[in-house]
Amino acid sequence: MADSSFDVLVIGSGASGLAAAVSAARSGVRVAVATKGALQSCNSAKAQGGIQAAFGDDDSPEQHAQDVWESSHETADRELVEILTSEAPSAIHWLEELGVEFTRENGGYRLARCGGASRKRLLQVGDRTGHAITTALRDVVEGSDVHTFPKSPLADLARTENGWRARCGDHAIDATTVVLAAGGRCYREAEERGELSTNHPGATGEVTQIAVDLGAELRDFDALQYHPNGGAWPLNMQGYSIPETTRAYGAVLLNADGEEFTDSLGPRDAVSQAIFDEVEKGKGVETPDGRPAVYLDTTRIPESDANVSLPYMLRRYRAGGIDPLGERLLTYPVLHYQNGGLVIDSNGETTIAGVYGCGEIAGGTHGRNRMMGNSLLECCVFGRRAGRAAAEKAKS
């Protein structure tokens, strides 16, 4: 017998799961969120760089979509991309209504140009954007009627006459519809490869496997993304993702001879590959503990930009005895993001009726290579859509 029954059950409490829960609850249905760890444990909170939306005078959702398409090497789902970019501005305003305060200047948003982008369109909350977004969403969930089941990992999902029964930790939960928002698998993948990862230890991918066992289709599942700028030294920074905004504000990648060897604002996969290739050619440098690296010359970042947009990065490095504005950093790509995942439609529904996917667990929006700043955006755009669609289906 199930302990409890809801209209919509959301699995995962990162930005996409919280956005889905808020959206479903506002549609007037009974919502529960079950998550593997504590409610605040997720990858989204670790996302530093920012969130993309076309607000510049020289920009448009169409231009944003074109950049996504090109960064994906024309592998993304065009329909999902157009939804992502056209709903980006309203997602930003929705986050602001929930209490997120984006960094502003000169009467508008402070916008940066990130890798693969042809315009400045990255909004930031300093360099802790994901933390700000998840905190605001969590506050709304905790102040609402949404029921939470922390430390209750999904172990089994089975069809019932009226929907689904989920076994989450010690709980059996009945729900009419289910939203899977449990993230990717890069922490586990990095462990298996003996590599570093930026990911939270909860990113191990078993929820994807549960969905696949039920018959859900996958796409681009082999396409994992390296963040070009993992911290390589000091020890306490290994696996930390140096914000890509360092390069937006002037930092460049240099080899052992102090030469630039790639476009520092290229798409992530291209920049990561260029670093791998440079090291392979013998043009890399070695960390004091013998790991491969190249230089990220952060001394070129104006102090005024660093203080506004990179305060957390500066604090972390200075605590380790390195001042990024006074010396170059050692960097090397780290496993970061699962580009592919469950096949979804425009409302986030997977190929299993009544089961939705949003956030990193879902594929298609980014194709085989994601642009920086589009993961938090996808979480909000498709989290809202999946939550709303799951609620409507549960009511019908």
- Sheet with 362-363, edge to edge strand ranges: 218-219, 341-343, 362-363
Q: How far is the C-alpha of 118 from the C-alpha of 265, rounded, in Å? A: 10
Closest Cα to residue 249, out of 191, 183, 193, 306? 306
CA angle 295, 298, 304 (to 5 degrees): 175
Q: How far is the C-alpha of 84 from the C-alpha of 119, rounded, in Å? A: 17
Q: Which residues pair with 254 in a beta bridge?
A: 260, 295
Q: How far is the C-alpha of 169 from the C-alpha of 240, rounded, in Å? A: 30
Tell how strand 292-297 and strand 355-357 pair up: unpaired
Q: How far is the C-alpha of 187 from the C-alpha of 209, rounded, in Å? A: 15
Instruction: End-to-end CA distance of the chain: give it in Å, rounded.
Output: 24
- Hunting for tokens 């506050």 — which residue is that? 139
Q: Which residues contact 315 (CB under 8 A, 6 or more apart)?
A: none
**What are the backbone dihedrals phi and psi of residue 347, each rounded to the nearest 5 degrees, phi first?**
-105, 10
C-alpha distances out from residue 361 to 98, 144, 154, 338, 392, Å: 24, 25, 14, 8, 22
Distance of CA 326 to the CA centre of its chain: 30
Q: Which residues are catalytic?
A: 227, 247
Neighbours of 186 (CB within 10 A): 28
**Do 381 and 88 touch, CB atoms closer than 8 A?**
yes
> Which parts of the chain fold into alpha helices (H)?
15-26, 61-71, 78-86, 88-97, 129-142, 186-193, 206-213, 245-248, 268-280, 303-309, 311-319, 374-395
